Amino acid sequence: MKGRLKDCSKVQEGDSPAEDVNELYKELDELLAQLEGLIYRINATNIRTSLEGESLTQLIARKDVLTMRVSLMRELLEHVTEQDHRYSRQEIKMVRMIDVPELRMQLDLRSRDLRELDLAIQKLNWSVDLI
């Protein structure tokens, strides 16, 4: 839709657009209204659906934060384990301030937690009908 609107919003002088911009706006309004309704239904379903006392909304929020945590830990591990290139002994040596084996173990645990949570959410999604 965005591409169609852009294509019709400017044309060479003397040409006419392939589609009527006003009609596209009407179509866009209808699509956005449908999207709003769908988002509302998804959110209402997620709030009313629970697993072990937590709503699906809470589970999704926990998954989002856990995904951020795992990503940050992975980036940190990559950064701290990359080779330092010193060209002479006179260059300053970089020292690790993080326990790499501990970080790796924590990353593995959090990654496992994320996979298990993701599977639980998927399983729950398949067992619930949209409101």
pLDDT given at position 92? 82
Residue 58: name the closest of 67, 49, 70 by CA: 49
For 84-120, the pLDDT digits (tens) are 777 777 888 888 899 999 999 999 999 999 999 999 9
- Residue 85's pLDDT is what? 75
Stretch 41-58: mean pLDDT: 96
Q: Which single residue is written with the structure tokens 């384990």?
A: 81
Q: Do the beta carbons of residue 36 and residue 77 sit within 8 Å?
A: no
| pLDDT score recorded for residue 83 | 83
Q: What is the pLDDT of residue 84?
A: 78
pTM: 0.76
Tokens at 72, concatenated: 């940050």
Q: What is the pLDDT of residue 89?
A: 79
Coil, helix or strand at residue 129: coil
Q: Where are the alpha helices (DSSP H) in the chain?
A: 2-9, 21-48, 56-81, 100-127
- Mean pLDDT along residues 27-40: 97
Question: Mean pLDDT over residues 36-50, rounded?
Answer: 97
Three-state DSSP class for residue 51 = strand
**55 SS3 class:** strand
pLDDT of the residue at 91: 83
CA angle 72-58-66, nearest 5°? 15
